[in-house]
Structure 1
Amino acid sequence: MHNDHFSRHAQQVLTVAHGRDPSSDPSIARSWLRCLEDYHLDPAQTIAPTVLEHGRLLESRERLQQVLHIAGSEMNSLHQQLSGAGHAVLLTDARGVILNCVTAPSERKIFERAGLWLGADWSEACEGTNGIGTCLVERQSLTIHRDEHFRGRHTGLTCSASPVFDPHGDLLAVLDVSSAREAVSRQSQFHTMALVNLSAKMIESCYFLRHFENHWLLRFHLQAESVGLFSEGLLAFDGEGRICAVNQSALNLLGQMRGGLLGQPVEAFFECSLDQLLGRASANATASWPLRTRDGRQLFAALRGQAR
């Protein structure tokens, strides 16, 4: 029975990847084609994922120690929001290696049988189309639902993954929620995906704030009440007023590309001098004030730093 399933799934992969099924999702078809032509994977192969040896796993965890520390409470909260049962919340590094897993102790064996071990490599090149690996390639949030997985052995899983970017726009990690329940529908994943996205943004923002705690940090938004929330723009600058880093929300709010901002004086983008800006600084930066951009957009901002 298992062999029949693997054979049918492998045939479906070949049909879709080579463009003979026009109803298929283009992103899944692209990924399946990569798996066949770039990685030379076999969809019917049943071997378990590659797992890093303990020493190398510890090294990987050490490299992302600050992210793991920030993400820990967010992952526990996400697991509770999903009512826990039947879900594993995973955090991987930028290569797709699982560094942390939150699941109910009674369900740990179920997810380990599915290959979701600490240290397991879930990159697309190793495991084919899957939430973690395909998210890393596409650099965007996505859900891979059951038969959309490349390998037949993974078709019992539904995975919703979101990328976590560092303050320079590079991939830092992937946050993923995986379920092994048969009753999970694609529609039910919209809610899960929204929660995963929100949690990934919270981790990103906390990491940004921690990473630049010795810099001036401008937080801004279109609405005063949104300053301090996950959707706010974050912009770090040094003592000379040169921009060091921005998050994606800041780029969207300013209508700029990252390369056009970095290294530039912060006052080139806002209608105020550096001294005026620094005069608004406070250690807690809880109260926001109006700040206009050079091209006339009205924002609300708060500046974290030592008041002058």
Structure 2
Amino acid sequence: MDFREHTDRVLSVAESGSAAARSRLAASWRRSLVRHGIDPATGRAPQRLTQRELRPLLEANESFIRSAESRIDNLFDLVGQSGCAVLLTDAQGIVLQHRCGDGDADTFQNWGLWAGNNWSEEAEGTNGIGTCLAERRRVTIHRDDHFIARNIGLSCMDAPIFGPQGQLLGALDVSSARSDQTEGFNQLIAAMVEQTARQIEADCFRATFPKARIVMAGEGDTRANSLLAVDQDDLVIGATRQARLTLDLPSEGILRPLPAVDVLGRDDDSQKGFEGAERAAVMRALSRADGNVTQAAKALGIGRATMYRRMKRLGISEKSH
């Protein structure tokens, strides 16, 4: 599809309110045209911040970047050989970090897939990063799904990253400019992007609550992403985005400390509910400490006397482990 044909198609769909009601892609195209006033035929270069403008954003997102760097590197190790770039953005769509092969650097820099570039929907219309952030969901924008005609050579797979207080931190993106990039291959990459984004969330969460006990609260596929931070008084002081959705907690903001038993509930089955999770944590600690209660208490971040009280309440004797 050439630029003129793409532009005509985008304008036809974007100007149709009924199309926007039926399709998420059409709704994004309509936002790009009506709300953001973007011309799909624009020839202007992507917006890019100067180093002076970018520096304070990097400083403000330092802990986020630090938590994400190793995960980004791992993801790039998986997709970089296929000519893909990996990008991390802030919540406004500004690229904070990028990874690409040396041989592909000029290509991605020319596309604007580089630290400092603005890929918000307001700036670039429908695109992987901007639409992911606007809709707060995983998206794949493949070639002529893009709003601006000059971007139709790109395939972009994105997932949002939410912070320890449920807030939107940014987006994780894998982009390719290969003409032979297939939608099937995009689906495989999109799954890796989603998994890595959730890993970054978990890393950020654990770094925010280093002294808390981290408890998995969900079930099934969401369990690994449904994390609670529980303090020494058995109060829930933090919850990931998925845990908030699962447990009907406020979607965003600092949580008012809540008794863990109120959040998770008790269950007569000792393998379920908070008591089951707590018992399992205590049993694991005792096992790893080879039965040494003092060492197990230290590993759990509690005192020896508190450990004995919990063991008594949970029906764990020193010999039962």
* TM-score exceeds 0.5: yes
Distance 1:185 1:165 in 2: 29
Structure 1, unaligned runs of 5 or more: 273-288
Alignment equivalent of 1:201, drawn from 190, 198, 203: 198
Distance 1:270 1:98 in 2: 38
Is the contact made by 1:142 and 1:162 (CA closer than 8 Å) also made in structure 2?
Answer: yes
Deviation at 1:240, TM superposition (A): 4.2
Alignment equivalent of 2:238, drawn from 245, 260, 265: 245
Matched, 1:263 2:250: no
Alignment equivalent of 2:301, drawn from 280, 297, 306: 306
Instruction: Name the SS for the 1:163 alignment partner.
Output: strand
Match of residue 153 from structure 2: 156
Worse-superposed segment, 231-240 or 104-113:
231-240
* Match runs of 1:103-118 below 5 Å: 103-118=100-115
Match of residue 285 from structure 1: none
Aligned length in residues:
281
Alignment equivalent of 2:25, drawn from 28, 33, 49: 28
**Which structure is higher in helix share?**
2
Is the contact made by 1:130 and 1:149 (CA closer than 8 Å) also made in structure 2?
Answer: yes
Is the contact made by 2:216 and 2:223 (CA closer than 8 Å) also made in structure 1?
Answer: no
Deviation at 1:188, TM superposition (A): 1.7
* Match runs of 1:117-136 below 5 Å: 117-136=114-133
Alignment equivalent of 1:137, drawn from 134, 137, 141: 134
Matching residue's letter, 1:149: H
Worse-superposed segment, 237-246 or 109-118:
237-246
Worse-superposed segment, 259-268 or 108-117:
259-268
Instruction: Name the SS for the 1:88 alignment partner.
Output: strand
Is the contact made by 1:234 and 1:247 (CA closer than 8 Å) also made in structure 2?
Answer: yes
Is the contact made by 2:216 and 2:226 (CA closer than 8 Å) also made in structure 1?
Answer: yes
Deviation at 1:63, TM superposition (A): 1.1
Match of residue 295 from structure 2: none
Match of residue 234 from structure 1: 227
Matching residue's letter, 2:13: V
Distance 2:245 2:18 in 1: 37
- Under a length normalisation based on structure 2, what TM-score does the superposition of the two structures give? 0.79
Matched, 1:95 2:92: yes
Deviations 1:131-185 (A, max 9, x none): 0000000000000000010101100000000000001211011100000001112
Alignment equivalent of 2:271, drawn from 284, 290, 301: 290
**Which structure is higher in strand share?**
1
Distance 1:238 1:146 in 2: 48
Instruction: Name the SS for the 2:82 alignment partner.
Output: coil
Q: Which one has the largest radius of gyration?
A: 2
Deviations 1:99-127 (A, max 9, x none): 11011011000011111121001000001
Is the contact made by 1:84 and 1:103 (CA closer than 8 Å) also made in structure 2?
Answer: no
Is the contact made by 1:205 and 1:230 (CA closer than 8 Å) also made in structure 2?
Answer: no
Matching residue's letter, 1:233: S
Is the contact made by 1:246 and 1:258 (CA closer than 8 Å) also made in structure 2?
Answer: no
Deviation at 1:244, TM superposition (A): 2.1
Q: Percent sequence identity over matched residues?
A: 33
Deviation at 1:83, TM superposition (A): 5.0
- Under a length normalisation based on structure 1, what TM-score does the superposition of the two structures give? 0.82
Deviations 1:6-42 (A, max 9, x none): 2221111111113389699711100110011111110
Distance 1:293 1:256 in 2: 16
